Structure 1
Amino acid sequence: MEVELSDVGQVNIFLGDVPNYENEQTNASQSDVISILMEKAPYLSSSQLKLIQAQLQNSSVNDKHSRRWDSDIIQLTLSLWTRSPKTYEQLLKSGCLVLPSISTLSRYKNVVEQHAGTNNDVFKWMYMEACSRNLPKHGYYGGLVLDEMSIQEDLQIVKKGGQIKLVGFPDIVKSSNGDTSFANHVLQYVFHGFTGFRFPIAHFPTTQANAPQLYSSFWDIISSLESWGFHVLYVSIDGASTNRSFIKLHFDGSPGQFDMATHNPFSDNPVIFLADPSHLFKKIRNNLLKSGPEKWHSRELTINGHPIVWKMWIDSYEWDKQHGLSIHHKLGNDHIHPNKADLMRNHLAEEVLDSNMLSLMRLYKQNLGHGSSVLEGAVDLLEQTSTLISIFHDRRPIRDLTDIRLHQLRTILQWFRKWEESETRQHLMSWETREDVEFLLSGFCKLAHVATQDLKITLTPLYINSDIVENHFSQQRGLYHGSGANPNYNQYRTATNSIILGQSTISNKSNASRRNTLQSTGAMPFSHLCKKIKV
């Protein structure tokens, strides 16, 4: 196809074999070319036109230092470079496109220095990014997700601005006892809004933070978020012993008696503590793995006189394999005989507790005939866990307290409480697991009440988990430092800006609209946001 632009210096544009017009002179201005392109190709998007205009403008500049770039082009190329530096370098060398140099992108990336503790520039960046995304008012409400990741013990010398400093020491609370041990973990805080907006806001190198250290850093971050207009209604946290102690510091008695809600001194709304659903499902599965009559089993789960042992899952799986068409087609050896790596995978735990597993267990129970009563306890448990998994994977928002899912959660909570009252310790799941069930279900129902009744906003169950921070850790390990080893602290902190700029600040689990391709890129550079948005 050939399009003649006779009114612009007799320039011909071909789709396919493009002749070399490098030395050909034309009187057409860049705006004339853009106007003609829009006329001849009316379906070009605004993003495509910006890229074409950038090529026209910067191809005519001999001095690379004189090139100027639109903020959207910088944002897009930063996202590409931070995700795959080698690919971007190859694209630069190919000469197909004129793009910002790596040194230019590096300067934009490192405008905000990531250091231990709270950083006012990071909160400012987060606020301006939220403004640029046009977050609705309720998008500034959400939760804090926090977790720790192992790092290599290492001390690094960092030089910036003529100053030299050592990084790699614990920095969550200044030690007064002269402790000089190196940090072996990083505590990461991520804000996750109800509309899917996410931003890693602070991190601390630690030797595994204790409950008082968590308490101090947590409320410091809550205060900073409130000052920038972000409101924390919940905290999603795994069931580690330190986290459990941290939660209990906020209550005089059992947290469940207070619906997991504590007073927020910086806001009129409470802060609600939630156990992470994914970690809870893994704990329930691990309790089942340990249940049985053999000497290596540590417990014998029993409900109403009916035993629940892992061999029931093994037998139902073997029975299902005998059929040409499996009932639970996802079930495999890694589910039934998990190794250490398999034990960490959320989906493997969920798939032995979900509705497909319930269907298989019911059919296997029917197949047993007269001996089917032995599986009644397993079926009863799977009825509860499958409903929990279904609810916490649901994208449909909860709009009011009449939602049937809230009634189901309260019913499941009562079922677990009744089980605990009717059996001895040996026949129950671990007290940590039972406590996490209480923390999650009581806290979520309270959160739904605060969100829908007090603030008149909706609550989507799918968003309430720790997947956001786990994704951050996965990128730290796999995307930037190789999946074979954890980074040291200096590598961790320098990669944080790459993650912010490389991934979309709107979670892919959200229903937020992405009206153009640039909305799915990473955060806009801090320096460009400062020019666009006055704070």
Structure 2
Amino acid sequence: MMNLENSVLGKQNELAKNMLVVMIRSLASNWCFPLCGFASKSLSADYLYAIIWRTISAVETQSKLKVLFLTFDGASTNRRFYSLHRVDNEGIVYKTVNLYDVTRDIYFISDVPHLLKTTRNNFSNSFSHKHSKKLWRNGMDISWMHVVKLFENHCELNLYSPCPKLSRSHIDLVSYNYMKVNLAAQILSESVACALEDLYGQEVQETVIFLRHMNKFFDCLNVRSLSEGKNKRNPNLQPYVSVDDERLAYLCEDFLGYLVEWEEMVEKRNGKFTRNEKATMLLSHQTMTGLKMSVMSICASVKIMLNAGAEYVLTHSFNQDPLEQHFGLYRHKSGANSNPSVYEVQNMMSTIRTVAAQALPTKRGNIKCSESAFDIDNTQLPRRKSHRQ
């Protein structure tokens, strides 16, 4: 399609700057497979639409696999791709009819770890950093300065810290820290909420409520194993085994209700505020839409899997961590070469397909890797027998 356009307009082929990789991931196992890659200089939603549906066609008709959901990050091209599936005046576009089986829907998911980072970024800019946000709800501010005050007064120099995981890296964000999911998760956590509530009380009530909602949201959509919830004594990390699970009701009713109510409060706030000023009182439109879309899609997908006979569902399988690890392997194999050619990427993709799970993901990436992948046997090898006579 791109070559046809270039030939009609008389354009020369341009040097690619990006590589789009489509990966298939199983919900019932740890299997994932980089299916194909596309080199491009800049990819529009129109081209992405054709690529994705061509891929779905191959998976559904040739591989005989059933596509349940598509996971993307929050890039503008991906958001535009979602909107291309809008029907009439539909609000949040979170699903579309599967063209290759009209009895099934395909759900759109905005990657949950990315959503957590963008939420933390919005929060960090509330009365701090870029000062682009002034988050407000129910007559009270949701301010990053509450966390800064907690850290500097009770955590940084105290022998006994109410939030032992908090460090200066969590508070003073720089470019690299913005990428780390664990830093965002440790800020938007129950421990920080409890410390704020215990030490500052009513003054920080809305910040505490916000942190608790985001903490439970991430826990519910980041269930990684059968035992983690039991080991950490956290029921939100238990696998989903029933369509009547309390967490599904919380996400669809309480969490989404919290976001909708927040929007209504800002809209009805007394005072002469412009549209832009009211926008600064909320999380960004892209983040709010992503949160709503992911909750509705994942909850629906979990119910579909359980009704289809799945023994349990791990919601960690709905994110794109394997793809992040995949690109980490590219960077690892490229060494000092930060600009690999298309041929080199194709060669690396073939290699990774071959070694599959034996490829070790980088430990310095922005996602948590399984520690079991790095087990090393230090048992001494038997000495070779001497052949001297």
Corresponding residue for 1:460?
314
CA deviation string 1:154-174 (max 9, x = no partner): xxxxxxxxxxxxxxxx97986
Distance 1:172 1:407 in 2: 49
Change (3 A) 1:257 1:285: closer
2:199 to 360, 364, 368: 364
Corresponding residue for 1:321?
156
Corresponding residue for 1:232?
67
2:338 to 463, 485, 498: 485
Corresponding residue for 2:40?
206
Corresponding residue for 2:221?
392
- Alpha-carbon deviation of 1:245? 0.6
TM-score, with normalisation over the residues of structure 1?
A: 0.58
CA contact (8 A) 1:255 1:439 kept: no
CA contact (8 A) 2:241 2:313 kept: yes
Change (3 A) 1:293 1:313: closer
CA contact (8 A) 2:155 2:166 kept: no
- Alpha-carbon deviation of 1:485? 2.1
CA deviation string 1:329-365 (max 9, x = no partner): 2211111111111111111111111222223322332
CA contact (8 A) 1:198 1:507 kept: no
- Alpha-carbon deviation of 1:399? 2.7
Corresponding residue for 2:23?
190
2:285 to 427, 431, 435: 431
Unpaired stretches in structure 1, ≥5 consecutive residues: 1-169, 366-371, 515-535
Change (3 A) 1:276 1:505: farther
CA contact (8 A) 2:135 2:143 kept: yes
User: Any idea what SS the aligned residue of 2:132 has?
Assistant: coil
Distance 1:374 1:179 in 2: 62
Letter in 1 for 2:318: I
Unpaired stretches in structure 2, ≥5 consecutive residues: 226-237, 267-277, 362-367, 374-389
Distance 2:281 2:144 in 1: 14
Structure 2 residue 244 is the aligned partner of structure 1 residue 402: yes
CA deviation string 1:27-67 (max 9, x = no partner): xxxxxxxxxxxxxxxxxxxxxxxxxxxxxxxxxxxxxxxxx
CA contact (8 A) 1:171 1:206 kept: no
User: Any idea what SS the aligned residue of 2:127 has?
Assistant: coil
CA contact (8 A) 2:128 2:144 kept: no
Corresponding residue for 2:264?
421
CA contact (8 A) 1:237 1:274 kept: yes
User: Any idea what SS the aligned residue of 2:126 has?
Assistant: coil
1:450 to 294, 304, 312: 304
Identify which of structures 1 and 2 has the higher relative contact order when contacts are C-alpha pairs closer than 8 Å and 6+ apart: 1
- Alpha-carbon deviation of 1:208? 2.6
Structure 2 residue 118 is the aligned partner of structure 1 residue 283: yes
Q: Which has the larger radius of gyration?
A: 1
Distance 1:186 1:299 in 2: 33
> 1:91-490, aligned counterparts within 5 Å?
175-176=6-7, 177=9, 178-194=11-27, 195-226=29-60, 227-253=62-88, 260-267=94-101, 268-292=103-127, 296-318=130-152, 319-365=154-200, 372-394=201-223, 395=225, 396-410=238-252, 411-423=254-266, 424-453=278-307, 455-457=308-310, 458-478=312-332, 480-482=333-335, 485-490=338-343
Distance 1:414 1:313 in 2: 25
CA contact (8 A) 2:119 2:283 kept: yes
- Alpha-carbon deviation of 1:272? 0.4
User: Any idea what SS the aligned residue of 1:243 has?
Assistant: helix
Q: Which runs of 4+ in 1 moved over 4 A?
A: 170-174, 253-258, 505-511
Distance 1:362 1:409 in 2: 23
- Alpha-carbon deviation of 1:293? 7.4
Distance 1:325 1:254 in 2: 54
Distance 2:349 2:2 in 1: 17
User: Any idea what SS the aligned residue of 1:351 has?
Assistant: helix
CA contact (8 A) 2:126 2:144 kept: yes
Structure 2 residue 330 is the aligned partner of structure 1 residue 497: no
Corresponding residue for 2:386?
none
Distance 2:165 2:190 in 1: 12
CA contact (8 A) 1:188 1:202 kept: yes
CA contact (8 A) 1:197 1:507 kept: no
